[in-house]
Amino acid sequence: MVLVPVLAVVAAFGAGGLVVAAIGVDPWNALRELVGGSLGSGEGLGFTLYYATDFIFTGLAVALAFQGGLFNIGAEGQAYVGGLGAALVCLHGGFLPPWILIPAAVLGAAVFGAAWAAVPGALQAKRGSHIVITTIMFNFLASTLMAYLLVNVLRPTGDMQAESAAFPPSATVPSMKAVLAGLGIAAPTTPLNLSFVLALACALAVWVFVWRTRTGYEIRTVGQNPWAAVYGGISPARVTVLTMALSGALAGGVAVNEITGVQNRLLLDFTSGYGFVGIAVALMGRGHPLGVVLASFLFGMLYQGGAELAFDEPKITRDMIVVVQGLVVFFAGALEGLFRRGLARLFAARLGPGDKGETSLPARVAEPGGEVP
Amino acid sequence: MEDAIASAALILSSSLRLSVPLIFACLAGLWSERAGIFDIGLEGKMLVAAFASAAAASASGNAWVGLGAGILASLAFALAHGFASIEARGNQIVSGAAVNLLAAGLTATVGNAWYGQGGRTPQLTAAASRFEGMAWPGAGAAGAVPVVGPIYRDLVSGHDVLTYLALLAVPLTAFALYRTRFGLRLRATGENPAAVDTAGVSVRGIRYSGVIIAGLLCGFAGTYLSVGQAAGFLTGMTAGKGFIALAALVFAKWRPWPALATCLLFGFLDAAAIRLQGTAVAGLGEIPVQAIQALPYILTVVLLAGFIGRAVPPKAGGIPYTKER
């Protein structure tokens, strides 16, 4: 049922409109500015897609983990540590030509993100640790680790800012403007870069991997029923670690877009909560790559349009985006079953066998206490 | 020797002050999770309580009005979480994450719209608008007495009323949980709700009680931050304390007295991190602050993995209860 997330999002935006009205701003006007600011100009669209790039990466990370029955709250930390991987490659690989250095930086981000996610995965698989709590703890560990490294190790001597040295110019991911100019299309200057294409390619790759390969089938089986997976000769422990590692690698994509695409140096807190947007995006996109891409676009609009809105309306700050985000998570995630049962009643449709109408997430995500056999 | 005792009393006293919000929030999580409702929204509930209490205290000039408002705001969020988890049978982790996001966004948005100070509430200047330290009888004079004096003056006396309430909440929780019928039923609901249902007790009612008690306690925690410890609300002022409390809850294996001990330990680590900043420790050199800040998280991960003891969450935690149809 595609209607469920649509209804949930409408409800979330409705509630967001009430908040906007409550602080004394005309919600229709706000909506107009939001859409105009995000889609009304080439520049706005560029920023929208640039934000969407981050959300596609984190959304795919959370969605892939969902398919394996895992709730990965740690995309934020994985993206952050992924930034360390990309930065180390860029800072030490200045002698390499761009066509080797940039893929190496992408790989660095993916490997570091994967490693940071694989540890909670392994702890759940081998020691039965609750993955939600472990990934929350790993977010904070990532934040303290990176703060330490940036202040004490990576910061050039004499520099006041807690950030790394600038990367060599050959490490910069080409901007979309340059690429489009090469094709003879004029585009405004925005932070949008080729990472957007990488994100779309990842979405396609995740779809092929999860629904068209043997390993993907194993992941979905473990997500639905780990005991059945054992019966079928699949090792849930191995699949759990693999799923988390891939999830973390996808989250590392944020570092590619932000660190090597725009900032050209490693910064404190460059992930700015995008890992948590990934949860909203994955819930709204129902754990499917296509849904994730569409939801990311909507959130990209919200971020870009929200920034424009905050600029024009002094009463509204960018924090309003976080409110809408919370509402989307609440309506599309927590109250999803309510919408679903309501719709089923409306259409007098019978729920599928074994489907109690609670949630559409794989069984083990719904029951986070579930142990891996 | 005298100096050492005096400075130890001061460090312990600041540890205690830093543990107070953790104790309230950790007990809040305990009540909710022992009833079978996972609560990663402690952080968010504390944050709305901190905002509402600071706003109400500044408007009314009365700290108790602030506490009331903080509790009400926290309860509203707790009930939303309860509705999603119990009524709508939604995913409790998702709902908790929504609570955190909503709290972070709403407090900043509304704070900015109301006061226009970047999300800050006005400074609480009137004496009655804050919970201030209460000097116990003879605390000043007792300071001169060796050993016991500084301990009495700095550690026992001089805290605000919320600090003593936090310490009181621990035995109350332990008593209610282990020595009353309600506590037995609540613990049973967290382990085996079907059995509770069979006995003719409403699982729904018990779970709502757990969630409401959690909201109440988070109200105290948040109020302490903005009206006790600080003199006003700052955006994001909980700064991860709700998650440290969650870590403490795991570390204490969901039991009240160990929860107190863990919160005091984590508070001590926090105080030590502030104290040791930029100073060299004999034999170790300068300890990075981040290493001490990371300790609660590392300890929790290690404990959860069963390398030292075993932390087993309530068995029915996170699973919505569906009555047989």
Which residues in chain B have Cβ-Cβ distances shorter than 8 Å to A325?
Answer: 101, 105
pLDDT at A165: 87
**A144 with B246: Cβ contact below 8 A:** no
Using the 8-state DSSP alphabet, how is residue A112 labeled?
H
**A134 with B301: Cβ contact below 8 A:** yes
Nearest to B98 among A136, A137, A326 (CB): A326
pLDDT at B44: 96
CA distances from A126 to A73, A235, A247, B24, B276 (A): 19, 11, 18, 33, 37
**B98 with A127: Cβ contact below 8 A:** no
Contacts of A335 (CB under 8 A, 6+ apart): A8, B84, B88, B90
Residue B232 falls inside a structural domain: yes
Residues B17 and A70: their CA atoms lie apart, in Å, by: 37
User: Which burial class, exposed, middle or buried, applies to A275 when counting CB atoms under 10 A from its CB (0-12, 13-18, 19+)?
Assistant: buried
Residues B15-62: tens digit of each pLDDT: 999 999 999 999 999 999 999 999 999 999 999 999 999 999 999 888
Provide the strand spans (E) within chain B.
Answer: 280-281, 285-286
Residue B300 falls inside a structural domain: no
pLDDT at B169: 95
Say if CB A66 and CB A287 are below 8 A apart.
Answer: yes
Residue B9 falls inside a structural domain: yes
Residue of chain B minimizing CA distance to A71 = B93
Contacts of A66 (CB under 8 A, 6+ apart): A223, A282, A287, A361, A362, A365
- In a mutational test of the B interface, the residue from A18, A131, A133, A318 whose CB has the highest number of chain B CBs within 10 Å is A133
Residues A311 and B239: their CA atoms lie apart, in Å, by: 27
Which residues in chain A have Cβ-Cβ distances shorter than 8 Å to B286?
Answer: none
Residue B135 falls inside a structural domain: no
Contacts of B50 (CB under 8 A, 6+ apart): B70, B107, B222, B223, B225, B226, B233, B237, B238
**A329 with B97: Cβ contact below 8 A:** yes
Residues B203-246: tens digit of each pLDDT: 999 999 999 999 999 999 999 999 988 888 998 888 889 999 99
Average pLDDT (A309-329) is 87
Residues B234-254: tens digit of each pLDDT: 988 888 899 999 989 988 989
Residue of chain B minimizing CA distance to A284 = B94
**A133 with B84: Cβ contact below 8 A:** no
Residue given tokens 């991997």 in the structure block: A209
Q: Lowest-pLDDT range, A135-149, B70-84, B118-132?
A: B118-132
Side chain identity at residue B116, one-letter code: G
CB neighbours of residue B84 within 10 Å: 28
- In a mutational test of the B interface, the residue from A76, A129, A274, A365 whose CB has the highest number of chain B CBs within 10 Å is A129
Contacts of B315 (CB under 8 A, 6+ apart): A369, B190, B191, B192
Nearest to B102 among A321, A323, A369 (CB): A323
- Decide which of B151 and A358 is more confident: B151
Using the 8-state DSSP alphabet, how is residue A167 labeled?
P
Say if CB A184 and CB A191 are below 8 A apart.
Answer: no
Residues A291 and A295: their CA atoms lie apart, in Å, by: 6
Side chain identity at residue A328, one-letter code: V
pLDDT at B292: 82
Three-class DSSP category at A267 = strand
- In a mutational test of the A interface, the residue from B101, B301, B302 whose CB has the highest number of chain A CBs within 10 Å is B101
Which residues in chain A have Cβ-Cβ distances shorter than 8 Å to B317?
Answer: 369
Which residues in chain B have Cβ-Cβ distances shorter than 8 Å to A24?
Answer: 113
Which residues in chain B have Cβ-Cβ distances shorter than 8 Å to A369?
Answer: 313, 315-319
Say if CB A283 and CB A271 are below 8 A apart.
Answer: no
Say if CB B292 and CB B274 are below 8 A apart.
Answer: no
- In a mutational test of the A interface, the residue from B37, B51, B91, B286 whose CB has the highest number of chain A CBs within 10 Å is B91
Which residues in chain A have Cβ-Cβ distances shorter than 8 Å to B297?
Answer: 137-138, 140-141, 144
- Decide which of B69 and B155 is more confident: B69
Q: Which residues of B22-58 are buried (b: 16+ CB within 10 A; e: fewer)?
A: bbbbbbbbbbbbbbbbbbbbbbbbbbbbbbbbbbbbb
- The CA-based angle A224-A284-A314, given to 5 degrees, is 150
Side chain identity at residue A151, one-letter code: V
- Decide which of A63 and B155 is more confident: A63
pLDDT at A370: 45
Q: Lowest-pLDDT range, A2-16, A214-228, B197-211, B214-228?
A: A2-16
Which run of H or E residues covers position B158?
none
Instruction: Report the gap between the CA of B186 and the closest CA in chain A (Å).
Output: 18
**Contacts across the A-B interface (CB distance below 8 Å):** 177
Residue B38 falls inside a structural domain: yes
Q: What mean pLDDT is reported for chain A?
A: 88
Contacts of B56 (CB under 8 A, 6+ apart): B65, B66, B68, B69, B70
First to last CA, chain A: 32
Average pLDDT (B168-190) is 95
Contacts of A334 (CB under 8 A, 6+ apart): B84, B85, B88, B90, B91, B92, B94, B95, B98
Using the 8-state DSSP alphabet, how is residue A156 labeled?
P
**A358 with B40: Cβ contact below 8 A:** no
Residues A321 and A240: their CA atoms lie apart, in Å, by: 33
Residues B81 and B96: their CA atoms lie apart, in Å, by: 7
According to DSSP H, which parts of chain A are helical? 3-22, 27-39, 42-67, 75-92, 98-127, 131-148, 176-182, 195-212, 214-224, 226-231, 236-251, 253-255, 274-284, 289-312, 319-328, 336-346, 363-366
Residues A201 and A125: their CA atoms lie apart, in Å, by: 29
pLDDT at A368: 44
Q: Among A109, A123, A104, which Cα is nearest to A78's?
A: A109
Report whether pLDDT(A306) > 80: yes
Phi, psi of B138, rounded to the nearest 5 degrees: 75, 15
Q: pLDDT-derived band of residue A353, with 50, 70 and 90 as boundaries?
A: very low
Residue B307 falls inside a structural domain: no
Q: pLDDT-derived band of residue A212, with 50, 70 and 90 as boundaries?
A: very high
Which residues in chain B have Cβ-Cβ distances shorter than 8 Å to A12?
Answer: none
Q: ipTM strictly over 0.90?
A: no
Per the DSSP assignment, residues forming a β-bridge with B280 are B286
Instruction: Report the gap between the CA of B115 and the closest CA in chain A (Å).
Output: 10
* Topology of the domain comprising A3-22+42-337: ABC transporter involved in vitamin B12 uptake, BtuC (1.10.3470)
Number of structural domains in chain B? 1
User: Which burial class, exposed, middle or buried, applies to A159 when counting CB atoms under 10 A from its CB (0-12, 13-18, 19+)?
Assistant: exposed
Residues A99-116: tens digit of each pLDDT: 999 999 999 999 999 999
Residue B166 falls inside a structural domain: yes
Q: Lowest-pLDDT range, A92-96, A242-246, A358-362, B308-312?
A: A358-362
Residues B43 and B96: their CA atoms lie apart, in Å, by: 9
Residue of chain A minimizing CA distance to B244 = A137
Tokens (6 digits) for A45: 């669209």
Residue of chain A minimizing CA distance to B114 = A23
Instruction: Report the gap between the CA of B270 and the closest CA in chain A (Å).
Output: 14
Instruction: Report the gap between the CA of B96 and the closest CA in chain A (Å).
Output: 9
Residues A53 and A199: their CA atoms lie apart, in Å, by: 6
Which residues in chain A have Cβ-Cβ distances shorter than 8 Å to B108?
Answer: 317, 319, 322
Say if CB A151 and CB A269 are below 8 A apart.
Answer: no
How many helical (H) and strand (E) elements, i.e. helices and strands, does chain B have?
13, 2
Residues A159-179: tens digit of each pLDDT: 788 888 888 888 888 888 888
Residues A80-89: tens digit of each pLDDT: 999 999 999 9
Q: Among B45, B109, B51, B107, which Cα is nearest to B81's?
A: B45
Of chain A, the percentage scoring pLDDT greater than 70 comes to 93
Which residues in chain B have Cβ-Cβ distances shorter than 8 Å to A141?
Answer: 294, 297-298, 301
Tokens (6 digits) for B301: 């991960």
Domain that holds residue B183: 2-129+143-239
Tokens (6 digits) for A235: 């090792």
Which residues in chain A have Cβ-Cβ distances shorter than 8 Å to B92?
Answer: 334, 368
pTM over 0.80: yes
**A23 with B110: Cβ contact below 8 A:** yes
User: Which burial class, exposed, middle or buried, applies to B281 when counting CB atoms under 10 A from its CB (0-12, 13-18, 19+)?
Assistant: exposed
Residue B150 falls inside a structural domain: yes
CA dihedral (A59, A65, A67, A71) in degrees, to 10, reads: -100
Residue of chain B minimizing CA distance to A15 = B102
Which run of H or E residues covers position B294?
helix B289-304
**A147 with B290: Cβ contact below 8 A:** yes
Residue of chain A minimizing CA distance to B314 = A369
- Decide which of B6 and B248 is more confident: B248
Residues A57-92: tens digit of each pLDDT: 999 999 999 999 899 999 999 999 999 999 999 999
**B90 with A327: Cβ contact below 8 A:** no
**A133 with B250: Cβ contact below 8 A:** yes
Nearest to A334 among B88, B106, B240 (CB): B88
Residues B74-90: tens digit of each pLDDT: 999 999 999 999 988 88
Instruction: Report the gap between the CA of A85 and the closest CA in chain B (Å).
Output: 20
**B318 with A144: Cβ contact below 8 A:** no
Residue given tokens 């006007």 in the structure block: A29
Using the 8-state DSSP alphabet, how is residue A96 labeled?
S
φ/ψ region of A168 (left if φ > 0, alpha if ψ in -120 to 50, else beta) reads beta
